[in-house]
Amino acid sequence: MDLSAFRDPTIARGLIEAINATETGPVKLMEVCGTHTVSIAKNGLRAVMPENVTLLSGPGCPVCVTANHDIDTAIEFAHRPEVIVTTFGDMMKVPGSYSSLAREKADGRDVRIVYSPLDAIALAQKEPDRQVVFIAVGFETTAPLIASAILRAQSEHIDNFSVFCAHKTVPAALEALINDPDVQIDGFILPGHVSTIIGSHPYEFLAENYHVPGVITGFEPVDVLQGVYMILKQLEEKRAEIEIAYHRGVMPEGNPVAREMVERVFEPIDADWRGIGVIPGTGLGIREEFSAFDAAKKLPVTPPEPKEIKGCQCGEVLRGMTLPYECKLFARGCTPEHPIGPCMVSSEGSCAAYYRYTDYGRTES
């Protein structure tokens, strides 16, 4: 697809003018997608907002919202000698309470990076005497891939493959943020990738019950500016609707085939979000029918009591209460090369995006 129109400076300038011409009071808009976080930082979009518009980053990076307890559990799997732990690369450096998968690997545990759960299945076939555990972290976007891997393992009778599922779902987390008295959000820039799977309907409660507008948009600069403009227009006209600006990627009904696959394999469970806490029904648990592929049931482990990382304010950053550079450790001890918290580890983390693409926090001593 030719995306040049979505990067066109003339179109972008027109949208910036339109944004600046809208009339609203001071408003805070939150994006809840790590790719939006990077796009906003990389393209300097905060700097072109009018003074009354603040763009906040929310819990849109799946690695960042993974609770210490889940990372500690992944590490415990690696302590079992019969287990090969497999995961996506961005999970490796994420600190748990006492260690990380990267440190465990350096200490000789069998931890391997894969690019897909299907690679983990291939590894299980190659290593029939070992148990291959895939650490699944993500939102609705990657859940269909995990579901298809479990269905494939079942159909091919691969009984040494299992999944530790720490997947989360987005809409109810937005409700938790709206109900948080410490957080002010006047509109949501809704995630493009997640919405390709779930569509726009699951967000409608935001407008109907809370009168908070939302616009699903894509990741190019023009997409993000268009999304911001559409939210500001709603606020100006005192409307609250869920609109789609990302028509090339999202249908209102999402992707029914992917959704059915996810519903077949997973059921909603409570999930612990870093910085937010337990949100009922926002986790994906593997259904009993597929328990042979549920690492938590098949290879039970007891992680240590979780402990928060001293000085790290990822929790506040993920709720939009603290900007990354307001953390005392930002760029002073915590950098992408030497991350202290998950928001600096992941390429989609707010702290990493601010560090890589802005000067914030560098000028003060």
Which residues share a beta bridge with 284?
268
Q: Which residues bind ligand SF4 (CB under 6 A)?
A: 312-314, 317, 324, 327, 329-330, 334, 340-341, 343-344, 351
Nearest residue (beta carbon) to ligand SF4: 341
Residues 6+ apart with CB under 8 A from 13: none
Q: Which is nearer to ligand SF4, 303 or 324 (CB)?
A: 324
Residues 6+ apart with CB under 8 A from 361: 324, 325, 326, 330, 331, 354, 355
Q: Which is nearer to ligand SF4, 191 or 342 (CB)?
A: 342
From the CB of 333, what's the least distance to ligand SF4, in Å?
8
Q: Which is nearer to ligand SF4, 270 or 326 (CB)?
A: 326
Q: Can you give the C-alpha Rg of the chain in angstroms?
A: 21
Q: Which is nearer to ligand SF4, 46 or 130 (CB)?
A: 46
From the CB of 353, what's the least distance to ligand SF4, in Å?
11
From the CB of 186, what's the least distance to ligand SF4, in Å?
24
From the CB of 303, what's the least distance to ligand SF4, in Å?
21
Which residues share a beta bridge with 135?
164
Which residues share a beta bridge with 57?
31
Tokens 């005192």 -> residue = 238
> Residue 133 in contact with residue 83, Cβ under 8 Å?
yes
From the CB of 279, what's the least distance to ligand SF4, in Å?
21
> Residue 196 in contact with residue 250, Cβ under 8 Å?
yes
From the CB of 362, what's the least distance to ligand SF4, in Å?
12
Q: Which is nearer to ligand SF4, 100 or 313 (CB)?
A: 313
Q: Which is nearer to ligand SF4, 250 or 314 (CB)?
A: 314
- CA–CA separation, 242 and 132 (whole Å): 41
